[in-house]
Structure 1
Amino acid sequence: MRKDSRLSRMLHVLVHMDHLDEPATSETIAGMLNTNPVVVRRTMALLREQGYVTSEKGHGGGWSLAVSLSDITLLDIHNALGESSVFTIGLTDQHRHCPIEIAVNKAIDDAMTAAEALLLDRFKQVTLDQLAEGFALKSR
């Protein structure tokens, strides 16, 4: 099953951007993430729509932080990326009238809903400057 790593990848980029002296081009970010600049532009545009980054075209242009890392939480970026669920586990619906499938799906759904609520609550508590603290210690 394919994992969606956009959240961790964008957190990585945003912390790096905070330590840059100039805007980061889509090509530079793509190099960091080993991906295509078009993918970077599409993803960064989602963050720009929410006001977390800005972009400038032309020579000397690129992507810059629009707000302090201390004003951005993991949940903010999760929501900006449009991720609907933090889990990729799905429920089956092949036998909708089977009482066993109904019971299994209810148990899984209840557990996943509770786990997701806990995780998203934790995401609200972690700001990006907290992630950057570890980076600053290692880069000294």
Structure 2
Amino acid sequence: MKRDSRLSSVLHALLHMAEHDRPMTSEALAQCMNTNPVVVRRTMGLLREAGIVASARGHAGGWSITADLSTVTLRQLHEVLGEPAVFAIGNHSEVPECLVEQSVNAALDGAFAKAEALLMEHFAQVRIGDIAADFARRHQSIRTPQA
């Protein structure tokens, strides 16, 4: 099963955008995200509706960050993206009237719910600005050799 990597891709794009002093085109972001510009426009459109980015047309146009990244959390981005499934594993629900399936699902439901709640709690504590600051530190450390 293919994993949903939209959250990771959006974070990647936002960090690239934060490093630029001018708007980035969908084509440039597509290269950073290793995807198609149409996917970038669709995804950035969701972020625009949430007030995180803005777009401008024309020669100097593109996408730019409008939100203060120190206030945007991973959980907010997850919600903006439509709250995709957190886990690739899940219950089997081919025959809901099957008592075995019901017993197995009942055993797994609680564990999945607890794990997802814990992850969402963690996502609510992680700010995009903190991730950007971590990137800046890592980037600076490779540009400035250690003595």
Report TM bin, short chain. over 0.9
CA distance in 2, matches of 1:50, 1:110: 31
Matched with 1:33 is 33
- Displacement after TM superposition at 1:89 (Å): 1.8
Q: TM-score, normalised by structure 2?
A: 0.90
Matched with 2:138 is 138
- Displacement after TM superposition at 1:96 (Å): 2.6
- Displacement after TM superposition at 1:27 (Å): 0.4
Deviations 1:77-124 (A, max 9, x none): 101111242112232223333332211101111110110011001100
Matched with 1:50 is 50
- Displacement after TM superposition at 1:63 (Å): 0.4
Count of equivalent residues: 140
- Structure 2 unpaired stretches of 5+: 141-147
- Displacement after TM superposition at 1:28 (Å): 0.3
- Please list every run of at least 4 consecutive aligned residues from structure 1 whose deviation after the TM superposition is greater than 4 angstroms: none
Matched with 1:60 is 60
- Structure 1 unpaired stretches of 5+: none
Deviations 1:12-59 (A, max 9, x none): 111221111110100000011111101100000000000000000011
Deviates most, 58-67 or 79-88: 79-88
CA distance in 2, matches of 1:91, 1:72: 32
Identity %: 51
Matched with 1:71 is 71
Matched with 1:124 is 124
Q: How does 1:78-93 map to 2 (within 5 A)?
A: 78-93=78-93
**Aligned with 1:63: secondary structure?**
strand
**Aligned with 1:45: secondary structure?**
helix
Deviates most, 117-126 or 96-105: 96-105
Matched with 2:110 is 110
Inter-CA distance 51–117: structure 2 relative to 1 (3 Å threshold): same
RMSD: 1.1
